[in-house]
Amino acid sequence: MKKRTLGQGLTVSAMGYGCMGLDFGLGEGVDPAAALGTIRAAYEAGVTFFDTAEVYGPLTNEKLVGEAIESFRDEVVLATKFGFVIGEGTRGLDSRPEHVREVVEASLQRLRTDRIDLLYQHRVDPKVPIEDVAGVVGELVREGKVLHFGLSEAGAETIRRAHAVFPVTAVQSEYSLWWREPETSILPTLEALDIGFVPFSPLGRGFLTGAVSADTEFGERDIRRTIPRFTPDAMRANQPVVEVIARLAAAKGVTNAQIALAWLLAQKPWIVPIPGTTKAHRIRENVGALDVTLTPVELASLTEAVEAVPVTGDRYSPAAAAMIDR
């Protein structure tokens, strides 16, 4: 497995694995035994960078990941997140320092570990100064309970303010061929500060692979039911993006997923995607993207062709979009 380095010298496998969909977010999930096998299959494929969060489940995903990696814990980089209120009814944001400490202690127990390699603030809490958040994470690092600090869906100003208090190792946000907003201010900020970037949903929540279409019916627990970009009309309008990717994939004898991931990997050497899947053979397919080389001409042609398609639909529901830091 090839390696890449995020900020603060944190070296990880060049392809990570997002564990969320195993039991949360994209449907009913899979049987726990199968989920454990999938995580272990990722490790066997060379993946050593695993991403979870307390809110996934909620609380169940961390337990699943902790059990799956226990036998090879010291050989992997484990990332999790804090920042939500977990309870009945509506979940709000809570990054008060005392709450961050409570979450870390509980996550350590669920993950069956004595330290979290990379701890992200899941969403920026407008009620808590980011300096206070960076400060408490810095304390947890000095105590050995956390090794690195990360931010998720944070704006450029927030990243700079946090980094001035305690060094940020990585920022996680959505980024793919059909969502390129991070190129405007996030990627330049990260490059200037030597911070790594971890794109989630690098395959457009499955759309870029061609696996879902306007005819797909999403289950009750599938968050894509709430996302404007996944209405039948939006998917029909966005289908030309998939067709552009498919043409290049066919010409190179690879899959849509491998083209989409190879495009991401080619953007910056400090970008590490974390595609998620419930199937071991898809993990191997995703890892195979590391061996796909796109020439400068292919990259330019692919980018230009996708840019020519006006993508229809927002990437989040209004409620979820309200939590994104600008």
* Pair of tokens at residue 300: 């330019």
- Please tell me the distance from the alpha carbon of residue 270 to that of residue 54, in angstroms, as a whole number: 26
Residue 87 pLDDT greater than 80, yes or no: no
Residue 304 pLDDT greater than 80, yes or no: yes
**What's the pLDDT band for 88 if we cut at 50, 70, 90?**
low
Cβ–Cβ under 8 Å, residues 84 and 123: yes
| Architecture of domain 3-321 in this structure | Alpha-Beta Barrel (3.20)
Q: What is the mean pLDDT of the chain?
A: 96
Nearest CA among 212, 184, 172 for reference residue 27? 212
Break the chain into its structural domains and give their ranges. Answer: 3-321
- pLDDT tens, residue by residue, 12-64: 999 999 999 998 878 778 899 999 999 999 999 999 999 999 999 999 999 99
- C-beta neighbour count of 180 within 10 angstroms: 16
What average pLDDT score do residues 247-251 get? Answer: 98
- Please tell me the distance from the alpha carbon of residue 5 to that of residue 229, in angstroms, as a whole number: 32
- Please tell me the distance from the alpha carbon of residue 166 to that of residue 153, in angstroms, as a whole number: 18
What average pLDDT score do residues 282-311 get? Answer: 97
Beta 49-51 vs 17-18: how paired, if at all?
parallel
User: If phi over 0 gives left and psi between -120 and 50 gives alpha, with beta otherwise, what is residue 20?
Assistant: alpha
Residue 135 CB partners (closer than 8 Å, separation 6+): 97, 165, 166
- 56 is a catalytic site residue: yes
What value does the CA radius of gyration of the chain take, rounded to a whole number of Å? 19
Model confidence, pTM:
0.96
- pLDDT tens, residue by residue, 104-134: 999 999 999 999 999 999 999 999 999 999 9
- Please tell me the distance from the alpha carbon of residue 192 to that of residue 194, in angstroms, as a whole number: 6
Q: Which of 56, 120, 175, 316 is catalytic?
A: 56
* Pair of tokens at residue 102: 């409570």
